[in-house]
């Protein structure tokens, strides 16, 4: 049972996701199996039928699952303030999760809660999430009913060594990434030209969802099966 303010939430969904990644600390690479549990509360709206609300919630659920499946498997969790650790992570072709501090589960769970809340939009509310890693005996639980996190609010606050493409950190953006695009110091071209080949994986997902909604809206009573979209792979700039 969950609470939102004084309201007791008796009915909600739970998304469970397991993945294997790498925790990078003090130049040490540690493979970790993570188990993530996310409580989701569907948000009803006036003027919508129950079927329409359930369909919209199903789309939001798939958006969350797609982001998790695109970014978390085999990702490297790295503190971007540690120069040696960031250098090692950049030698790999794995997706990196940029952390504004030690990549412990206490920070990672906040990053995930913030990102998923943005992706869920107005259709789902992210409740408690639970995260446990195989390299520790502790499971972390986090919730943010007021939307407040102990995280930087701009990229320059946690990544001062370079100029990022985006002023807003990845965990506060409605996109398909878990890192920043940093402008090389010796490059003179504009951001538009420099990053023109970067495509947001969520754009393809949204296109697939629009195609589905054109033929299925009003007919779907349960979240549809997870739609597989070609995964985005990072490119070296």
Closest alpha carbon to 49 in 219, 209, 224: 219
Q: Is the dihedral of CA 230, 97, 237, 27 positive or negative?
A: negative
Residues 6+ apart with CB under 8 A from 47: none
Whether residue 131 is contained in a domain is answered as: yes
Residue 136 token pair: 């520790």
Whether residue 224 is contained in a domain is answered as: no
pLDDT value at residue 237: 37
Whether residue 71 is contained in a domain is answered as: yes
Angle (nearest 5°) at CA 198 between 195 and 203: 135
pLDDT value at residue 221: 43
pLDDT value at residue 8: 62
pLDDT value at residue 77: 98
Number of folded domains in the chain?
1
Distance CA 85, CA 71 (A): 19
Distance CA 64, CA 62 (A): 5
CATH number at residue 120: 3.30.479.10
Asked whether the beta carbons of 205 and 176 are under 8 A apart, the reply is yes
pLDDT value at residue 13: 85
Asked whether the beta carbons of 64 and 119 are under 8 A apart, the reply is yes
pTM exceeds 0.95 for this model: no
Q: Quick check: helix, strand or coil at residue 50? A: helix
Q: Residue-wise pLDDT tens for the chain (237 aa)?
A: 566 666 666 667 899 999 999 999 999 999 999 999 999 988 766 767 777 777 888 889 999 999 999 999 999 999 999 999 999 999 999 999 999 999 999 999 999 999 999 999 988 999 999 999 999 999 999 999 888 999 999 999 999 888 999 999 999 999 999 999 998 888 888 888 999 999 999 998 988 877 776 655 444 444 444 444 444 444 433
Asked whether the beta carbons of 118 and 174 are under 8 A apart, the reply is yes
Asked whether the beta carbons of 79 and 26 are under 8 A apart, the reply is no
- Which residue range is the domain that position 67 belongs to? 8-216
Distance CA 95, CA 71 (A): 7
Whether residue 237 is contained in a domain is answered as: no
Whether residue 227 is contained in a domain is answered as: no
């Amino acid at each position: 049972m969950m609470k939102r303010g004084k309201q007791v939430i008796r009915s909600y969904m739970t998304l469970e996701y397991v993945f294997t990644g790498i925790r990078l600390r003090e130049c040490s690479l540690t493979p970790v199996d993570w188990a993530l549990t996310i409580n989701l509360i569907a948000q009803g709206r006036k003027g919508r039928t129950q079927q329409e609300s359930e369909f919209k919630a199903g789309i939001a659920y798939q958006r969350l699952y797609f982001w998790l499946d695109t970014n978390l498997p085999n990702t490297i969790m790295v503190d971007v303030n540690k120069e040696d650790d960031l250098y090692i992570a950049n030698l790999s072709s794995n997706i990196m999760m940029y952390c504004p501090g030690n990549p412990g589960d206490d920070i990672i769970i906040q990053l995930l809660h913030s990102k998923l809340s943005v992706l869920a939009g107005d259709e789902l509310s992210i409740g408690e999430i639970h995260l446990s890693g195989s390299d520790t005996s502790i499971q972390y639980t986090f919730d943010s009913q007021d939307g407040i996190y102990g995280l930087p609010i701009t990229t320059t606050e946690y990544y001062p060594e370079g100029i990022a493409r985006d002023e807003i950190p990845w965990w506060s953006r409605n996109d398909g990434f878990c890192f920043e695009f940093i402008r090389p110091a010796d490059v003179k071209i504009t951001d538009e030209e420099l990053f023109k080949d970067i495509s947001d994986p969520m754009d393809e997902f949204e296109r697939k969802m629009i195609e589905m909604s054109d033929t299925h809206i009003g007919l779907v009573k349960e979240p549809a099966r997870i739609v597989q979209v070609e995964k985005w792979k990072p490119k070296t700039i």
